[in-house]
Structure 1
Amino acid sequence: MNYLAHFHLAAVVARQGGYDDEALLVGALLGDYIKGPLRGDWPAEWEVGIRLHRRIDALTDGHPLVSECLAGFPSEFRRYGGIALDVCFDHFLLDRWSDHALDNAPTAAQFAGECYRVLGAKREHFPVAAQRQLAFLTEHNVLCILRDWTMAAQMLARISRRLKRQNPLRDCAAVLDAQRPAIARCFDQLYPRLLEQLPQEFAH
């Protein structure tokens, strides 16, 4: 899952599990930047959010629905297909936002704005790499721009330039278009399962 899905799932778990919304949101961002065992070096509920981020990644990466979807990609894309799915899943979350809206029913734009506000207020406590990524997310409104399907390929082209190895993500638009129905089916089956399972696993 990409940033919007991680933040949305963190909000759902926080509200159903009695956690602090802002703390789990921070953990949802830091999950990409804090590695290794968690031993209390960060605020306790930040670490819950980091664990949640890791659990989301594990459930998604290892899910049979994801494996089945990736099998439909051309062979040269499969190594990087997980990255492509993460980005595309945010598109489908935006496209189906009203189906998964939180109890107070904010729009996706309102939710994104709150994420930027909360994380921006705490950014000085983040690792430098997380600060840079937050600045990028905010400047380019990454949480909302993927509503436009064509932005998925553009986002992956940007990611392609950051990867050390040669990869096919720079020219993935045609592949994504061909796989779009399969990716949509995967999201529509997988995301509700995460929404049901994760609050149970992280209940106080």
Structure 2
Amino acid sequence: MNFLAHLYLSKNDTSIMIGNFIADHIQGNRYEGFSKEIQQGIFLHREIDTFTDAHEVVRKSKRRLHARYRHYDGVIIDIFYDYFLAKNWATYSEIPLELFTKSVYNLLDEVKLDLPIKSQQFINYMIEYNILFNYKYKDGIEKVLNGMNKRTKGKSQMNLAIEDLHSLEAEFEADFTVFFKELIAHTNQKLKKIDTTI
């Protein structure tokens, strides 16, 4: 799952949101300098990634892309699934997407100087281009895919994946709907266990 889903699954707990957001920039046990609550977010992020990577529905989504994009298929699916979450946001949250994303930007901007450098850089980029909110639009997804392709110096051809989103949207959305319901239930269970083990 990508940034919007990880933040949503943090259940509006600000410390868990912070940990969940920075987790990709924390290697191994280098989380030890953070508070217990932020560590919970880091652990939750890792649990979400493990569950996602092993799930058969996600693997089915990846198989539709694998021949064209090889090992980048998972990155693309993460982005597609954030699109479907944003597109169907009212199904999952009573807080409007615009208000949710603005509150996330404010939170992360307030604490960014205490976060890893890579996280700080992405916060600035995310706020400047309103990335989280623009996940709900195909134009926004296309910009993200173009940016990812540039980072791989064109090797990934991820810029072409917008074509797959257009042609297979119904199939990918059906996958997301089934998977995300199970991910929410799994995350709720893991949050309880994380709270008791730290």
TM-score (norm 1): 0.89
| Partner residue of 2:57 out of 65, 75, 89 | 65
Equivalent residue for 1:108?
97
Secondary structure, counterpart of 1:11 in structure 2: coil
| Partner residue of 2:183 out of 194, 197, 202 | 194
Provide the rounded CA distance (Å) in 1 between the counterparts of 2:66 and 2:44.
Answer: 31
Provide the rounded CA distance (Å) in 2 between the counterparts of 1:163 and 1:56.
Answer: 25
Equivalent residue for 1:54?
46
Quote how far apart the aligned CAs of 1:39 are. 5.9
Provide the rounded CA distance (Å) in 2 between the counterparts of 1:41 and 1:149.
Answer: 39
Provide the rounded CA distance (Å) in 1 between the counterparts of 2:82 and 2:22.
Answer: 18
Provide the rounded CA distance (Å) in 2 between the counterparts of 1:81 and 1:47.
Answer: 29
Provide the rounded CA distance (Å) in 2 between the counterparts of 1:22 and 1:199.
Answer: 16
Does 158-167 or 182-191 show the bigger shift? Answer: 158-167
Does 160-169 or 116-125 show the bigger shift? Answer: 160-169
Secondary structure, counterpart of 1:36 in structure 2: coil
Quote how far apart the aligned CAs of 1:198 are. 1.1
Structure 2: unaligned runs, 5 residues or longer: none
Identity level (%): 24
Task: Give the 4+ runs in structure 1 shifted more than 3 A.
Answer: none
Secondary structure, counterpart of 1:182 in structure 2: helix
Q: For residues 34 and 63 of structure 1, do their structure 2 counterparts lie closer, same or farther at Cα, with a shift above 3 Å needed?
A: same
Deviation readout 1:152-185 (Å, 9 max, x if unpaired): 1221110111126711112222222222222101
Provide the rounded CA distance (Å) in 1 between the counterparts of 2:64 and 2:53.
Answer: 16
Deviation readout 1:25-54 (Å, 9 max, x if unpaired): 101111110011256221111111011111
Q: Which amino acid aligns with 1:70?
A: K
> Does the Cα contact within 8 Å between 2:20 and 2:45 map onto a contact in 1?
yes
Equivalent residue for 1:3?
3
Equivalent residues in 2 for 1:1-204 (5 A)? 1-11=1-11, 21-37=13-29, 40-73=32-65, 75-101=67-93, 105-163=94-152, 166-203=155-192, 204=195
> Does the Cα contact within 8 Å between 1:25 and 1:49 map onto a contact in 2?
yes
Q: Name whichever structure is richer in helix by fraction.
A: 2
Provide the rounded CA distance (Å) in 2 between the counterparts of 1:164 and 1:47.
Answer: 34
Provide the rounded CA distance (Å) in 2 between the counterparts of 1:165 and 1:50.
Answer: 31
Secondary structure, counterpart of 2:64 in structure 1: coil
Does 46-55 or 147-156 show the bigger shift? Answer: 147-156
Provide the rounded CA distance (Å) in 1 between the counterparts of 2:142 and 2:180.
Answer: 21
> Does the Cα contact within 8 Å between 2:105 and 2:127 map onto a contact in 1?
yes
Quote how far apart the aligned CAs of 1:138 are. 0.7
Q: Which amino acid aligns with 2:62?
A: L
TM-score (norm 2): 0.91
Provide the rounded CA distance (Å) in 2 between the counterparts of 1:179 and 1:78.
Answer: 18
